Amino acid sequence: MPQIFHHSTNALAKLTIYGAVFILVALLWIAVELNRSSWNTGQWVERQQPVQFSHKHHVGDDGIDCRYCHTSVETAASAGLPATTTCMNCHKQIWADSSYLEPVRESFRTGKPIEWIRVHDLPDFAYFNHSIHVNKGVGCSTCHGQVDQMPIAYQASTLQMEWCLGCHRNPENFVRPKEKVFDMQFRQENKTNDEIAEGRSLVTKYHIQPPNVLTSCSTCHR
């Protein structure tokens, strides 16, 4: 009886069996990497806005406080976006003729708000409240990065659940004194033993709930 397969198929068969293990592991690894990559999360991706607005200029160079524009950050779930009139407070005097600012003036004339593109967009099934975080010593830059150095704002974190839980499980690694919350230069994370010890005392001082409460499903999924 003639052979159906050439004898080299023996080697091929062994190769495929062992190869399958590596291919499966590699595929799994690729899937995991892609899932955490900025391609999937949108982290680091700069968002072009209808107006060429630079946080670097306004916050870094001019020293305007976050709350001047994001007025409701201490009292509401949403930090809030400024009305066009807030822009015009200054820009009726400064750069009043700049062509870059024409969309702002047009908005002011017509009363139609500027349609800013949201940079940090949490999924709708996650409940998030800015005020509780800001009032318990979570700094702006901890989540949003050093905005004073961003000519164009980008999403500074992955916004994936493991990222949220990183702080909810160990708040002492991130919490800072309340008066430093809006300080862009303050450290974003407590790394040394002393910093973490300070974080721990702040957790007690600010009555931050223990991890079993902070990581309960219904804390964020209501």
Partner 1 sequence: MADEPHNLGPLHHSTAPVVAPGLTFASVTDKISSIVLKRKTPLWWFLGFALSFILFQLLLLTITKLVFEGIGLWGVNVPVAWGMDILNFVWWIGIGHAGTLISAILLLLRQKWRTSINRFAEAMTLFAVAQAGMYPIMHLGRPWLAYWLFPYPNTMGIWPQFRSPLMWDVFAVSTYATVSAMFWFVGLIPDFATLRDRARSKPFQLLYGLLAMGWRGSARHWHRYEMAYLLLAGLATPLVLSVHTIVSFDFAVGIIPGWHATIFPPYFVAGAIYAGFAMVLLLTIPLRKLYGLESFITMRHMHNMAKVMLATGLIVGYGYVMEAFFGWYSGNHYERFMIWNRMHGPYSGYYWALILCNIITPQFLWIKKLRSNLLVLWLLSLVVSIGMWLERFVIVVTSLHRDFLPSSWGMYQPSTWDWTMFIGTIGFFFTLLFLFIRFLPMISIFEMRTILPDAEVEE
Based on CB atoms, which residue is closest to partner 1, 1 or 21? 1
Which of 15, 20, 23, 32 binds partner 1 (CB under 8 A)? It is 32
Structure tokens at 196: 């973490």
CB 190 within 8 A of CB 203: no
The reply on whether position 36 binds partner 1 by CB under 8 A is yes
The stretch near partner 1 (CB under 8 A) out of 2-10, 53-61, 65-73, 114-122 is 2-10
Instruction: State the nearest-atom distance from the C-beta of 27 to partner 1, in Å.
Output: 13
Count the site residues for partner 1 by CB under 8 A.
18
* Local structure of 84: helix, strand or coil: helix
Instruction: State the nearest-atom distance from the C-beta of 7 to partner 1, in Å.
Output: 10
Q: What is the torsional sign of CA 191, 184, 121, 125?
A: positive
Q: Cβ contacts of residue 88 below 8 Å, gap of 6+?
A: 104, 105, 108
Which of 81, 83, 165, 196 binds partner 1 (CB under 8 A)? It is 165
What helix, strand, coil percent values describe the chain, rounded to 5?
50, 0, 45
63: left (phi over 0), alpha (psi -120 to 50) or beta: left
The reply on whether position 11 binds partner 1 by CB under 8 A is no
Backbone angles phi, psi at 170, to 5 degrees: -135, 70
Which of 96, 122, 161, 213 binds partner 1 (CB under 8 A)? It is 161
Cite the DSSP H helix spans in 37-101. Answer: 38-41, 55, 66-69, 84-91
The reply on whether position 1 binds partner 1 by CB under 8 A is yes
Based on CB atoms, which residue is closest to partner 1, 9 or 129? 9
Instruction: State the nearest-atom distance from the C-beta of 160 to partner 1, in Å.
Output: 4
The reply on whether position 166 binds partner 1 by CB under 8 A is yes
The stretch near partner 1 (CB under 8 A) out of 144-152, 158-166, 172-180, 193-201 is 158-166
Based on CB atoms, which residue is closest to partner 1, 37 or 146? 37
CB 130 within 8 A of CB 96: no
Which residues of this protein are in contact with partner 1, per CB under 8 A? 1, 4-5, 9-10, 13, 28, 32, 35-36, 158, 160-166
